[in-house]
Amino acid sequence: MSERLQPGDTAPDFSLPDADGNPVSLADRKGRKVIVYFYPAALTPGCTKQACDFTDNLDVLAAAGYDVVGVSPDKPEKLAKFRDTENLKVTLVGDPSKETMEAYGAFGEKKLYGKTVTGVIRSTVVVGEDGAVLQAFYNVKATGHVAKLIKDLKI
């Protein structure tokens, strides 16, 4: 399992396909603050709630200078269905190899219903304009996380 990121660490760059198959990279957003959130699977109840919460608050986050990128192990086709079904406005990218998730400490052992399993760890990493990690949250809850994040970021 990879190490969890800490404030001050350099956020690993990535280039992953979005729901339309176009590459999205962290480097493309240099000079902007970016909220990178990791979720287990598109079109599941918790992940849908979280993506809808980000979409509902996208204007508030954008006004404060934040871009939002959601990362899951899903392929672009499933991400497009997720986006279209739920009318999502957040940028969704797929990481089927899980390399980016591992680099961010968002894939590894976790507890699920009392058992230890290997999988996506629901996480959010806030990256500054210079590419450094400002904050990193691991094992977050799908419900209420966006509201807590907005409060923690003092937006």
Q: CB pairs under 8 A, 24+ apart, for 145-150?
A: 145/50, 145/53, 146/50, 146/53, 146/54, 146/56, 146/57, 147/53, 147/57, 149/35, 149/124, 150/57, 150/60, 150/61
Cβ-proximal residues to 73 (8 Å cutoff; 6+ apart), any chain: 40, 41, 94, 95, 96, 98, 101, 120
Residue with tokens 């450094």: 132
> Is position 52 annotated as part of the catalytic site?
no
Q: Which of 5, 19, 34, 47 is catalytic?
A: 47
Residue the block writes with tokens 């849908």: 48
CB 69 within 8 A of CB 34: yes
Active site residues: 47
